[in-house]
Amino acid sequence: QIFMPLNFLGFVYREIRGSLANIDNLFTLLDEVPTVEDKPKARELVVKNSHIRFENVDFAYHPDRQILKNISFEIASGQKVAVVGASGAGKSTLVKLLFRFYNPTAGRITIDGQNISDVSQASLRQTIGIVPQDTVLFNDTLQENIRYGRPEATDEEVDEVIRLAHLAHFINSLPEGPKTQVGERGLKLSGGEKQRVAIARALLKNPPILVFDEATSSLDSHSERAILQAIKTIAVNHTSLVIAHRLSTVIDADKIIVMENGEVVEQGTHFQLLRNNGRYAHLWHTQQQSKNINALENREERKI
């Protein structure tokens, strides 16, 4: 008599936990509630190669202000593509359209040749994993927080993604290791550690397409290196799109999309874009200069 209700409560708990994981994955980056509806009898998205194409995409949140203008680019199967550009250039909007939180006002977005407006949103979002800038941690152990990525994952699978997300060193240094309590009532993690938890969750979910929203908050160089390594690991076997704020993240990207005022103004690899000596080269030299100035200042401070 007691077993049935307890069993049911367990089921409810797992369901809530599962949906929280999805909410975390989707909404932390995309702070918005979907406004579009599936077409009647929308098909399931069938993913074979995860080849993404934006074809002449226009978009406006409000009719009087166009945000994206004639955006065209593609991400071939297994490629890592980075989007860079000043604040307000339209990088997050691009991702919102890929998740179909909105429909383009013109043009189309396809995955493996299927217009994402024609497929069910559930199947689309199943295909794409997201690593948000700031991830929500629940009052539970680190291990369980990571398992939110795929609640049925075994301890061994959780351990494996902890290693791949470059969290093992940090977690092993804690007295209770993966069983350490985190969240409001437990250990507080730094921005970089939290982002690596998000990476571990995404690796556990293992969707064919990954979107990575790089943290804008300043990270110490150890955290930054660990995250760079983790993104590299994630990029293997996945088609990935990185919204990049630090150009150090994009050097090894297969393609860099440079956005300005809602338009793609340049695209190419790091070295091609440097040779073009255009907007990207300018952005690169500016970031290098400020890095050099910071390094000089640090050296001077150490002398004092």
> What DSSP assignment string belongs to 281-292?
HHHHHHHHHHHH
Report the Cα–Cα distance between both ends of the chain, in Å, rounded: 73
Q: Cα 16–18–19 angle (5° rounding)?
A: 65
CB of 289 to ligand ATP, least distance (A): 21
**Could you please report the per-residue DSSP string of 165-191?**
TT-HHHHHTSTTGGG-EESTTSBPPPH
The answer to whether 104 and 59 have CB atoms below 8 angstroms apart is yes
Interaction between residue 207 and ligand ATP (CB under 6 A): no
> What's the Rg (C-alpha) of the chain?
21
Q: Which is nearer to ligand ATP, 75 or 89 (CB)?
A: 89
Q: Which region, judged by CB under 6 A, interacts with ligand ATP, from 12-20, 72-80, 81-89, 250-258?
A: 81-89
Which is nearer to ligand ATP, 91 or 125 (by Cβ)?
91
CA distance 239 to 207: 9
Interaction with ligand ATP in 90-109: which residues (CB under 6 A)? 90-93
User: Per CB under 6 A, does 85 bind ligand ATP?
Assistant: yes
Name the β-bridge partners of 52.
75, 111
Pick the binder of ligand ATP from 7, 87, 173, 221 (CB under 6 A). Answer: 87
In the complex, least distance from residue 280 CB atom to ligand ATP, rounded to whole angstroms: 15
Residue closer to ligand ATP (CB basis): 91 or 255: 91
Q: Does 67 bind ligand ATP (CB under 6 A)?
A: yes
Phi, psi of 248 (to 5 degrees): -60, -25
H/E element, 122: helix 121-127
Q: Any idea what DSSP says for residue 117?
A: G
Between 21 and 71, CB nearer to ligand ATP: 71
Query: Whole-number minimum distance, CB 234 to ligand ATP, in Å?
Result: 20
Residue 177 to residue 222: CA distance in whole angstroms: 20
Residues 6+ apart with CB under 8 A from 190: 220, 223
Q: Which is nearer to ligand ATP, 27 or 138 (CB)?
A: 27
The one segment of 43-51, 69-77, 88-96, 106-114 that binds ligand ATP by CB under 6 A: 88-96
**Among the listed residues 61, 139, 151, 232, the single contact to ligand ATP using CB under 6 A:** 61
Nearest alpha-carbon partner for 289 in 260, 252, 251, 247? 247
Select 45 or 130, whichever has its Cβ closest to ligand ATP.
130
Q: How far is CA 293 from the centre of its chain?
A: 30
Selected range binding ligand ATP among 86-94, 147-155, 220-228, 265-273, rule: CB under 6 A: 86-94
Task: Give the number of residues in contact with ligand ATP, rule: CB under 6 A.
Answer: 10
Q: Whose Cβ is closer to ligand ATP: residue 11's or residue 61's?
A: 61
Question: Smaller CB distance to ligand ATP: residue 87 or 173?
Answer: 87
Residue 87 Cβ, how far from ligand ATP at the closest point, in Å?
3
User: Applying CB under 6 A, which residues contact ligand ATP?
Assistant: 61, 67, 85, 87-93
